[in-house]
Structure 1
């Protein structure tokens, strides 16, 4: 896991920022800021390289497109500063790659702890893709247990326990509670995924929650790892595609087994801004 989030104190500081002024939490803040500076500096090196080789007739990626708008764009009410470009690149890296890779890590940790599902998943993959087929999102309908397993992983180990903070734009009354205007509000995604009303026996890892009587995969609108509402994660469709395709492709080619013969403890986790397995060492053995 990237050291940026590997600190149990970060969630506490996120909820109560003033605590970051006190030792030992101050060290957590300093380490986080140092890591973030490293990421921003790395992004800036990439941006500088793009700027040096910029060709308005060959726009290859997001940075090129942003630089084009800086030079030739007419949207004066939009911020096209270098700082904004840095922030976008940081968000792509932190929210785009880190979250997907950590979710995949949990998928394999849980697969090693529940090998009975591996047999079903491998059978689905072999029957529909063989050893050389190229997985796409179009294969989801043919791989119901594979999809159900990934969904249950995202419920059982909710990656982001608290959604990005929002602010009440007006005084609101909700279920008997008054939320004053200007109040910072967090959605407890981990709590929502452990609600026994929506998820009977929530502490039980059970991918069959997402399989109907006909054996088909059924996606639930009660599963909200990407948050909900108008400001849900914009990268949801991309993240789902990445996780599904990488998961299927790896299992198509390899058996995933514990590096030391003992599956990682599913309860040994870091609960920070994201929830990550403290250990995830695996051995890949070629299947074909």
Structure 2
């Protein structure tokens, strides 16, 4: 081999070695499946086989795709991507990269075993007879729970129970009563409660009655329980905006939380109101289609209302 050939090979080797330590772009991407059209955060850790590492958090789009890029100057390393899944467990995946392979694909399943997850949820409505007339004190509850192979246990708050999926129940008084549904399967148990109040004509009141926060002061709770307070959401289903109408003889602080049917928090808002009629706007344009719950805390008393997007 002549001198010129050796010189060429030597220079090529040096340039290749230098290239290994030049800045390169590493791409990490993948798909998080079963996210129910709700973007989730993906945590990415890039290990450069040194004491220096890079980390980032990127949101998926509504169908689960995510992508991020990193500037790396080492010839090889490893990548880990992890999420918190629908069962509140941390799951992760790993991949490696090297000079000629600078794209790492890590796919994860957000809800690999949905049978392990269950959520209790219901709505309540006035029961009617065959002539479409309201039946006094008769309430129909409708199950909206999620999960497979569920069993049902209803506690109507007056000493009576049921194991039907969507039962009707006759109350003997006006309440308010604390109505709870517990759903369960082999892997999960979950309970959801709501208040029931009936007016003097025996008709179901809408948005009246509360759960009592143990941390509240007894005098304030008693005053509120003796005061007519109503909440109403409109339009329902919502589009870009949702209005909460509040009627109360008392003023105070209202704290609002918007969650989906899996309990994931999407919005929080705190508002001071005066006595009388108040209107509070919630921006819902960024929410995906589905069922949502507005949790209302008013001076230590709680109420939940549901709406569709």
Pairwise TM-score range, normalised by the shorter structure: under 0.3
- Kindly indicate whether structure 1 or structure 2 has the higher relative contact order, using CA contacts under 8 Å at least 6 residues apart: 1
Higher-Rg structure is 2
More strand by share: 2
TM-score by length of 1: 0.23
When the two structures are superposed, what TM-score results if normalisation uses the length of structure 2?
Answer: 0.22
Structure number having the greater helix percentage: 1
